[in-house]
Amino acid sequence: MAFDYKTTLAYFRNDYVPFEQAKLSIGSSPVLYGLAVYSVFAANWNEEKQQTFLYRLQDHYERLQNSARMMDFTPLEQVVSYDQFVQIAKDMVTKNNIREDALIRVCLFIDEELAGTKIHGLKTSYSAYIYPMGEILPLSGAHLCVSSWQRTADNAIPSRAKINGSYVNASLMKNEALLNGYDDAISIDEHGHVAEGTVANVFFVRRGKLITPDSATDILEGITRSSVLTLAEKLGIPTEQRSVDRSELYMMDEAFFCGSSARITPILSIDKRPIGNGKVGELTARLSEAYRNVQHNDDPDFASWLTTV
């Protein structure tokens, strides 16, 4: 049985406090305007080794830095150093005695009330909390639609940044998908090209080649996405990063989502059209197993991606 995140300790404004005491005012900038940036990373428990492994912390720190830079927040390193970032992440596991797969969400936010839509020079604070890994999509395979909502363009809200407020766009897509009987949605950018899912990057397989939308297609440059490309290289799977048109979706042999929360989720159908034979594909299964082995420190080739707790 998963632990109850409501009973855990969180990190909030330079202190460890009960999760339910880590609160923001209804007049705060994150609540009113979504002025916060975040990252989520896995804390994977290896029962045999009796250890937890935190996934690619350096990359998550750097992405949080870049998100703050794009938003013109106070630089992350002035609020929390990398060493502090690592220690807080470890503390989320040890102080809460977590011995199962979990996720840690960290956030840099404008810590002001009634400040309007201003950003530059405002007080900035940091938070972190841990919660059960769960299953945000059916890992046995998801059924998707192409959303009628367009992916927010990079020149409107930076797509390379994980900005809390930008997930209004994803929420509209997810809501539409659920109301119409799907598990999730695929978004299309302003040029008509496939971008990503609501909270995950997307990959396809066609004629033995692994394909994913390139970074100019208004996508988040996902850390799990980067991991999949590296694992594919190790497994000898040819890859291509390029534009994908909507009509090509229906011609794919395999498809899957990937992300810290989604892990690797097979896509079985899009717009009620089966992908391939409508079952989990061979390359999808191979990559899923390889990714799991890396995260739980069962692949020594990628030990450098992990931080041991």
150 neighbors 173 (Cβ within 8 angstroms): no
| Averaged pLDDT, 30-41 | 98
Asked which of 87, 112, 132 is the last residue of a domain, the reply is 132
| Domain shared by 159 and 70, yes or no | no
In a domain? residue 302 = no
Q: What is the pLDDT of residues 221-259, one digit of tens each?
A: 999 999 999 999 999 999 999 999 999 999 999 999 999
| Domain shared by 172 and 85, yes or no | no
Q: What is the pLDDT of residues 125-164, one digit of tens each?
A: 999 999 999 999 999 999 999 999 999 999 999 999 999 9
Residue in this structure with the two tokens 């390139």, named with its chain if needed: 214
The type of residue at 285 is: A
The total number of structural domains in the chain stands at: 2
Q: What is the 3-state secondary structure (H, E, C) of the chain?
A: CCCCHHHCEEEECCCEEEHHHCCCCCCEHHHHHCCEEEEEEEEEEECCCCEEEEECHHHHHHHHHHHHHHHCCCCHHHHCCHHHHHHHHHHHHHCCCCCCCEEEEEEEEECCECCCCCCCCCCEEEEEEEEECCCCCCCCCEEEEEEEEECCCCCCCCCCCCEHHHHHHHHHHHHHHHHCCCCEEEEECCCCEEEEECCCEEEEEECCEEEECCCCCCCCCCHHHHHHHHHHHHHCCCEEECCCEHHHHCCCCEEEEEECCCEEEEEEEECCEECCCCCCCHHHHHHHHHHHHHHCCCCHHHHHHEEEC
Structure tokens at 149: 């909502």
Q: What is the pLDDT of residues 162-194, one digit of tens each?
A: 999 999 999 999 999 999 999 999 999 999 999
Asked which of 97, 112, 132 is the last residue of a domain, the reply is 132
The pTM assigned to this predicted structure is 0.96
Query: Could you give the angle at the alpha carbon of 259 between the alpha carbons of 24 and 287, nearest 5°?
Result: 160
pLDDT given at position 67 = 98
Domain that holds residue 193: 142-295
Euclidean distance between CA atoms 234 and 238, whole angstroms:
10
- The CATH number of the domain holding residue 79 is 3.30.470.10
| Averaged pLDDT, 39-62 | 97
Euclidean distance between CA atoms 7 and 116, whole angstroms:
33
| Domain shared by 258 and 153, yes or no | yes
| Domain shared by 81 and 31, yes or no | yes
pLDDT given at position 236 = 96
59 neighbors 226 (Cβ within 8 angstroms): yes
Q: Residue 1: pLDDT band by 50, 70, 90 thresholds?
A: confident
